[in-house]
Structure 1
Amino acid sequence: MDDFIFQNPTRIYFGKSHEANIGRIAAQFGKNVLLHYGGQSAERSGLLPLIRKELSEAGLHFFELGGVQPNPRLSLVYKGIELSKINHIDLVLAVGGGSAIDSSKAIAAGTLYNGDVWDFYTGKAFPEKALPVGTVLTIPAAGSESSPGSVITKEEGQLKRSVNADCLFPRFSVLNPERCFTLPPSQIANGATDIMCHLMERYFTNSRPVEFTDRLIEGTLRTVIASAPRVLANPASYDDWAELMWAGTIAHNNLLDTGREGDWASHDIEHEL
């Protein structure tokens, strides 16, 4: 087993009721919140109206930036940074999946940086500090709700790049399996595939012996293999979604990296393609 240092500072609120406390949770970080999300699914489901209500009742000022796309765009990150600086944002609150969360992390780091946030994704600079980020997860897949990573695409040149830094760990993440009930089958399948990739890219390693984390990865992979078909067959199964959602978080929160070297060639190839 290789030497390692492990710490995951993300507080997880898992279950059916925590969105109703999002105002109280967010208020711990200040008065001004940037609410960052994608399209209209969170609006139609009633999640965004609920979050707006809870933030307002907690006496928080919130500013909204929607429009996050899969493979989040640098141009929207720039808009978020500008909004955050103008409105003295204290917390960036992502509502959605990995794209909204990764975009929020980029905004959080870029707001406190005097240069171009893209510097972090090219290796020109390293993020040492960022605004607090919180998440309300609606799509289990990327694991960004409890990881230090962010992936952003620069439209010019179609460059997809990543950065990992401790300051990018979300301070908290709200995970309610009920919020997954309306996901279409394609997103369920894509999410399960992403989770399995995170597990297998950790599993295949030159580090030996790593029996303990081998068993952890195998158990998580078995859970995904078992629960994904069940949620496809019954999208309103809370218990099956709970298994899949928690597996997605554990698969990418760095716990399963401990003491071993991973093989991330598949993700690197995907970024280029």
Structure 2
Amino acid sequence: MDNFVFYNPAKIIFGKDQEKTAGEWIRKYDGHKVLLHYGGGSIKKNGVYDTIIASLKANDLPFVELSGVVPNPRYSLIQEGIALCKREGVDFILAVGGGSVIDSAKGIAAGVLLNEDEDLWEDYYMFKRGPEKALPLGTVLTIPATGSESSRSSVVTNEATHFKRSMAADCMIPKFSIINPKTHYSLPPYQIACGCADILAHLMERYFTPTENVDFTDRMLEASMKTVINYAPLAIKYPTDYNIRAEIAWVGTIAHNGLLNTGRLGDWASHDLEHELGAIYDIYHGEGLAITFPAWMKYVYKQNPKRFVQFAQRVWDVEFSAEQEERIILEGIHRLERFFTELGLPIRCSQLHIDHSRFREMAQKIMVNRDHEGEFMKLYEEDCYQIYCLSE
């Protein structure tokens, strides 16, 4: 087990009707003027918007609004939000939505406090480093998926350059996050599937580690993966079952709050491979991960077969056979693909009408400002290209 420092100050307010307390929490964190940041019309259709507005007004909190966040949130909207916050004297940001909204809010929060000689995109997102200060923010989570409600990272797309990149810093961890599983009832089945694929990917990125002797976090990750595997189909079948939704919501938060990667080095190659797909083809993050993760597994499993055997046995209940190690590994990968397929997700690029024509370009872009990709097995341009070919 590696040395580690675990730090996560995000206060989680979980349960029914908790979004009504948003204004009270902003006041507790000394917010005086709020940027209300959200996506399209879904929070207006399901009533969350009206509840938040009422809470802000009840707590005498003036606010300005910035809507329009889309999947693969755009850097241009972050720039618009930074200018709005500076012009209006905003001192607190409330993100109401899923990971795209929260990631966009984090970018705004960091950008408002940058020095004049700093460029948010070039200095931070492109170099995957984090700022030292940001405006405080809170979240009301309406889509369980990315774990951004308690993470230190922000992932956005620069539509001008077609790069999708991340930055991370402790100052971007939300002060509080409100999670009411009832607000997730209106999500369409495909969005539930994409969200669960994202949660599972966060767990697997941590699970496939080069670090030895991490059985405690292995066991927590395996239990979390089994929770996603068990409850994702149920969430689609019974969309208004509170207890099912609560399981998905909570495992999604824990999957990405830093706890499960303590003492171990994670591998984020599958995420970065997907980011290039998302940047160019604007696909949902979860559906892209359902494509890139199995392809990555097929390429790297010989690096440490024992870990893949453990994954197949403990997570997918593949029967043990010492003389058939490779069969066990491939069966585990097959069961992962079957799980994605049963959720209605693609597992090949061709299912989204994406061909090989830009695979080399994407492999080249992954390596910009990076010495290598991944940690389980260090990948370079040709490796990334071959993984894309496996995903075709």
* Fold similarity call, TM over 0.5: yes
Structure 2 portions without partners, runs of 5+: 278-392
Cα 1:44/1:173, change in 2 over 3 Å? same
1:52-71, aligned counterparts within 5 Å? 52-71=53-72
Query: Is 1:215 equivalent to 2:219 in the alignment?
Result: yes
Q: Distance in 2 between matches of 1:133 and 1:22?
A: 11
State whether residues 134 and 172 of structure 2, in contact with CA within 8 Å, keep that contact through their aligned partners in structure 1. Answer: yes
Query: Is 1:31 equivalent to 2:35 in the alignment?
Result: no
1:1-273, aligned counterparts within 5 Å? 1-28=1-28, 29-113=30-114, 114=116, 115-118=118-121, 119-123=123-127, 126-273=130-277
* Larger strand percent: 1
**Counterpart residue identity of residue 111, structure 2:** G
- What per-residue deviation string (whole Å, max 9, x for no partner) do you get for residues 225-263 of structure 1? 111111111100000000000000000001001000111
- What per-residue deviation string (whole Å, max 9, x for no partner) do you get for residues 26-50 of structure 1? 1123210000000000011110111
Q: Distance in 1 between matches of 2:205 and 2:130?
A: 25
TM-score normalised by length of structure 1: 0.98
Residue 271 of structure 1: how far off its partner (Å):
1.3
Q: Distance in 1 between matches of 2:63 and 2:268?
A: 37
> Which runs of 4 or more aligned residues in structure 1 lie more than 6 Å from their structure 2 counterparts after TM superposition?
none
TM-score normalised by length of structure 2: 0.69
Residue 120 of structure 1: how far off its partner (Å):
1.3
- What per-residue deviation string (whole Å, max 9, x for no partner) do you get for residues 135-190 of structure 1? 00000000000000000111112110100111110110000000010100000000
Residue 20 of structure 1: how far off its partner (Å):
1.2
Q: Aligned with 1:146: secondary structure?
A: coil
State whether residues 73 and 103 of structure 2, in contact with CA within 8 Å, keep that contact through their aligned partners in structure 1. Answer: yes
State whether residues 34 and 63 of structure 2, in contact with CA within 8 Å, keep that contact through their aligned partners in structure 1. Answer: yes
State whether residues 95 and 138 of structure 2, in contact with CA within 8 Å, keep that contact through their aligned partners in structure 1. Answer: yes
State whether residues 128 and 165 of structure 2, in contact with CA within 8 Å, keep that contact through their aligned partners in structure 1. Answer: no
**Counterpart residue identity of residue 73, structure 1:** R
Q: Distance in 2 between matches of 1:27 and 1:67?
A: 26
Q: Distance in 2 between matches of 1:259 and 1:31?
A: 39
Q: Distance in 1 between matches of 2:96 and 2:120?
A: 21
Q: Distance in 2 between matches of 1:66 and 1:90?
A: 18
Residue 206 of structure 1: how far off its partner (Å):
1.0
Q: Distance in 1 between matches of 2:231 and 2:160?
A: 39
Residue 3 of structure 1: how far off its partner (Å):
0.5
Q: Distance in 1 between matches of 2:207 and 2:31?
A: 40
Q: Distance in 1 between matches of 2:86 and 2:244?
A: 41
Computed over aligned residues only, the root mean square deviation of the Cα atoms, in angstroms, reads: 1.0
Structure 1 portions without partners, runs of 5+: none
* Larger helix percent: 2
- What per-residue deviation string (whole Å, max 9, x for no partner) do you get for residues 44-81 of structure 1? 11101110111011000010000001011010001100
Residue 124 of structure 1: how far off its partner (Å):
8.6
Q: Aligned with 1:145: secondary structure?
A: coil
Q: Give identity over the alignment, percent.
A: 55
Higher relative contact order (CA 8 A, sep 6+): 1
**Counterpart residue identity of residue 130, structure 1:** A
State whether residues 95 and 140 of structure 2, in contact with CA within 8 Å, keep that contact through their aligned partners in structure 1. Answer: yes
Residue 17 of structure 1: how far off its partner (Å):
2.2
Q: Distance in 1 between matches of 2:210 and 2:64?
A: 47
**Counterpart residue identity of residue 185, structure 1:** P
Cα 1:108/1:47, change in 2 over 3 Å? same
The count of corresponding residues between Structure 1 and Structure 2 is 273
Residue 123 of structure 1: how far off its partner (Å):
2.2
Q: Aligned with 1:195: secondary structure?
A: helix
Cα 1:105/1:124, change in 2 over 3 Å? closer
State whether residues 234 and 244 of structure 2, in contact with CA within 8 Å, keep that contact through their aligned partners in structure 1. Answer: yes
